[in-house]
Amino acid sequence: MTYPLHVPSLLPPAPWLPGLALVVVVALAVRKSRTFGAFAGVILGVPTYVAVALGPHLAWGWLLGAAQLLAAFHILALVVRPAMRPAWFRLSVSIPGLWFVAGSLLALPWAIAASFGLHPWGAWAPFGLAAFGVFQSLWTREETVSLRLDVPASAELAPHPEAIATGQGRPLRIVQITDPHLGPFMPIERLRRICQRAVEREPDLILLTGDLMTMESHDVGVVTEALAPLAGMRGRVFACHGNHDHEARRVVEQAYAAHGIELLVDDAAVVNTPAGAVQILGLDFVWRGRAAHVASVVERHPRLRDATRVLLMHDPGAFTHVPDGEADLVLSGHTHGGQLGLLSLGLQSTILRWITKIPDHGPWAKGRNRLYVHRAQGHYGYPVRLGVPAEQSLLQVYPRQR
């Protein structure tokens, strides 16, 4: 008599493997640097807890342990050699692993409930939401935003949606590129397409407001190749630093110089456009003393008469330090639009608006100054977008009547 041999199509990992992977990867990360070790501990620690807490309660719960191993492998690859990975690695390791990290953070309340002996009803829901977030992270919709600068505003910082409207005359046409964060969700080819499409929309200016890279992409060749289409707009492309650009300043400088992109580090430039003269002032990113920094840069570069004044400032949190009347328009990024929110449902709420007063996306105003916070093409930190799609917009700016 013969007996059929049953071989499951997918074998669950041993229960102790995720915990071992956590210990090994974090230990190696700490050897690289304490900061990176802390990062690895958070990125892998919460998902490991969630996998252990929810796994026994879910059919196919062992899949959580397998996904946690992928997340650990993604971090391990960064420890061994930070570099842009090929498509097969991103699709089979990085993106599934980061999906699990995102889903685990959303599923934390279910895991806590399970730890207290409660049944975690609907615990697959956060992982389903995270899967939708992966889709939003890989797709960018083109938009056209018309912004009027002559709409009155109060002396208090506030969103200014009424500034979104048609205006009179020929607008200043700007494409902003911000926070692409070259990495798992932003390969070289995708950023090249974003840059190519920016050129094809024939703007007056293309303005980059920082954070080109993640630790995977601190490579001159990578960044230079990704930005190549912008070489066709020499003399009309300007940039400022973001906080992550400080991690590899020389890489940024060389990549920009290769394509004639003017990097403004607390400096100004003037360019004539079909909409008139534009004075562009680029501020460096600083962590401390922002008010004094903004005041000193603005004082060194006074406004020019009959020119629209545009400030490039990566962090919108510094907007309140711009002296009243010193900026027709400030362009920022940094927040990734809030990254988690309800914009996809037509609402303006994001997690940043729930917990902070930092401008998160869209038009804002304070006195005579105007701010536009771009939702960014990429993201970083929390590993997917959810409810806040990436932005690839043409900004039509109708200046104040002089």
Model confidence pLDDT, tens digit, residues 64-83:
888 989 999 999 999 999 99
Asked if 317 and 230 sit in the same domain, the reply is: yes
- Residue 261: inside a domain: yes
Tokens at residue 371, please? 């701010």
Asked if 197 and 344 sit in the same domain, the reply is: yes
Asked if 339 and 392 sit in the same domain, the reply is: yes
Is the pLDDT at 368 greater than 90? The verdict is yes
Asked if 41 and 176 sit in the same domain, the reply is: no
Residue 293 CB neighbours (<10 A): 17
pLDDT tier at 5, thresholds 50, 70, 90: very low
Q: Is the sign of the CA dihedral 174, 180, 182, 184 positive or negative? A: negative
- Residue 318: inside a domain: yes
Query: Lowest-pLDDT range, 43-52, 250-259, 335-344, 385-394?
Result: 43-52
Asked if 193 and 338 sit in the same domain, the reply is: yes
Asked if 299 and 347 sit in the same domain, the reply is: yes
Q: Residue 277: which CATH number?
A: 3.60.21
Question: pLDDT value at position 151?
Answer: 84
Helix, coil or strand: residue 99: helix
Is the pLDDT at 51 greater than 50? The verdict is yes
**Helix-strand-coil split of the chain, %, nearest 5:** 45, 20, 35
Is the pLDDT at 400 greater than 80? The verdict is no
Long-range contact pairs involving 255-261 (C-beta distance under 8 Å, separation at least 24): 255/212, 255/220, 255/223, 255/224, 255/227, 256/227, 258/224, 258/227, 258/231, 259/224, 259/227, 259/228, 259/230, 259/231, 259/234, 260/231, 260/234, 260/235, 261/208, 261/227, 261/230, 261/237
Q: Across the chain, what does the average pLDDT equal?
A: 92
Helix, coil or strand: residue 378: coil
Question: pLDDT value at position 399?
Answer: 83
DSSP secondary structure code for residue 332 in this structure: E
Question: pLDDT value at position 352?
Answer: 93
Asked if 193 and 324 sit in the same domain, the reply is: yes
* Sheet-wide strand order for 172-177: 140-148, 390-398, 172-177, 205-208, 237-239, 262-263
Question: pLDDT value at position 7?
Answer: 39
- Residue 1: inside a domain: no
Domain termination site, one of 87, 108, 134? 134
**Closest alpha carbon to 362 in 324, 387, 400, 395:** 395
- Residue 8: inside a domain: no
Query: What's the mean pLDDT in 231-235?
Result: 95
Asked if 151 and 76 sit in the same domain, the reply is: no
Owner of token pair 């492998």? 73
pLDDT in tens, 269-304: 999 999 999 999 999 999 999 999 999 999 999 999
DSSP secondary structure code for residue 341 in this structure: B
Please state, in angstroms and rounded to a whole number, the distance separating the CA atoms of residues 210 and 188.
16
- Residue 101: inside a domain: yes
- Number of domains the chain contains: 2
- Residue 62: inside a domain: yes
Is the pLDDT at 383 greater than 70? The verdict is yes
Per the DSSP assignment, residues forming a β-bridge with 371 are 330, 364
On the 0-12 / 13-18 / 19+ scale of CB atoms within 10 A, 186 is buried
Is the pLDDT at 202 greater than 50? The verdict is yes
pLDDT in tens, 98-126: 999 999 999 999 999 999 999 999 999 99
Q: Is the sign of the CA dihedral 224, 225, 228, 229 positive or negative? A: negative
CB 226 within 8 A of CB 256: no
Asked if 112 and 256 sit in the same domain, the reply is: no
pLDDT tier at 249, thresholds 50, 70, 90: very high
Asked if 126 and 148 sit in the same domain, the reply is: no
Question: pLDDT value at position 11?
Answer: 44
CB 58 within 8 A of CB 108: no
- Residue 4: inside a domain: no
For the chain, what's the residue count? Answer: 402
Question: pLDDT value at position 161?
Answer: 85
Please state, in angstroms and rounded to a whole number, the distance separating the CA atoms of residues 193 and 229.
8
On the 0-12 / 13-18 / 19+ scale of CB atoms within 10 A, 170 is middle
Domain termination site, one of 100, 115, 134? 134
pLDDT in tens, 137-181: 998 889 999 999 888 888 889 898 878 877 778 899 999 999 999
Please state, in angstroms and rounded to a whole number, the distance separating the CA atoms of residues 99 and 97.
5
Is the pLDDT at 13 greater than 50? The verdict is yes
Query: What's the mean pLDDT in 373-394?
Result: 95
What range does the domain containing 200 cover? 141-398
**Amino acid at site 356:** T
The secondary element (H helix, E strand) that includes residue 296 is helix 290-300
Question: pLDDT value at position 201?
Answer: 96
- The angle, 0 to 180 degrees and rounded to 10, between the axes of the packed helices 108-115 and 34-54 is 60
Helix, coil or strand: residue 120: coil
CB 66 within 8 A of CB 14: no
Question: pLDDT value at position 80?
Answer: 92
Asked if 201 and 319 sit in the same domain, the reply is: yes
Radius of gyration of the chain (CA): 23
Asked if 45 and 128 sit in the same domain, the reply is: yes
- Residue 3: inside a domain: no
Domain termination site, one of 90, 108, 134? 134
